[in-house]
């Protein structure tokens, strides 16, 4: 999957966004003849661009902005409003927070770029998991969620409660 993003300064061909593992970068469409690459952080320094959509928190306009970890959507009324749009890739999997029972577990990315899952009611609830949650109660301790892990190509479900120790190989 790639999208157009300008011209290669070495050969003049089109630059495309390429993905290798968890790393994304701009690369020449003429690869392997031309091996020019450019990090996305280098080109992400943009001026905020209005989207014409109101902020759900304060009503000001949302903007595309560049930040420490790339492009994101945030409120134009910053610092008075700190709304930032979260990626909605976990929308189909609405799992209730087993700790506070008010929020939902959503996928987030840490400062180091690792994926984790946390309650959307943060900072009131600080429950988080390092593995994807599964909406299934533990048969041993009845904790409302299990986590999905993979080891040596085998997928299994495990209880996130350290005191429980439940683990089951999954199909």
Running DSSP on this structure, what letter comes out for residue 86? P
Average pLDDT value for residue range 51-71: 79
**What pLDDT sits at residue 142?**
92
| Residue spans per domain, the chain | 4-43, 44-85, 95-169
pTM above 0.85, yes or no: no
CB 64 within 8 A of CB 49: yes
**Per-residue confidence at 88, pLDDT binned at 50, 70, 90?**
very low
CB 129 within 8 A of CB 147: yes
Length of the chain: 171
């Amino acid at each position: 999957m790639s999208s157009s993003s300008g011209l290669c300064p070495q050969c003049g061909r089109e630059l495309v966004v390429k993905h290798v593992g968890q790393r994304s970068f701009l690369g020449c469409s003429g690869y392997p003849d031309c091996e020019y690459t450019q990090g996305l952080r280098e080109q992400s320094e943009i001026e905020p661009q209005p989207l014409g959509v109101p902020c759900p928190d304060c009503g000001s306009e949302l903007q595309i902005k560049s930040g420490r970890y790339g492009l994101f959507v945030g409120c134009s009324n910053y610092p008075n409003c700190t709304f930032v749009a979260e990626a909605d890739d976990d929308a189909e999997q609405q799992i209730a927070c087993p700790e506070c029972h008010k929020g939902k577990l959503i996928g987030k990315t840490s400062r180091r770029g690792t994926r984790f899952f946390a309650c959307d009611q943060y900072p009131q609830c600080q429950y988080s998991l390092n593995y994807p949650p599964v909406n299934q109660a533990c048969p041993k301790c009845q904790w409302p969620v299990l986590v999905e892990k993979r080891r040596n190509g085998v997928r299994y479900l495990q209880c996130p409660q350290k005191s429980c120790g439940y683990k089951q190989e999954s199909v």
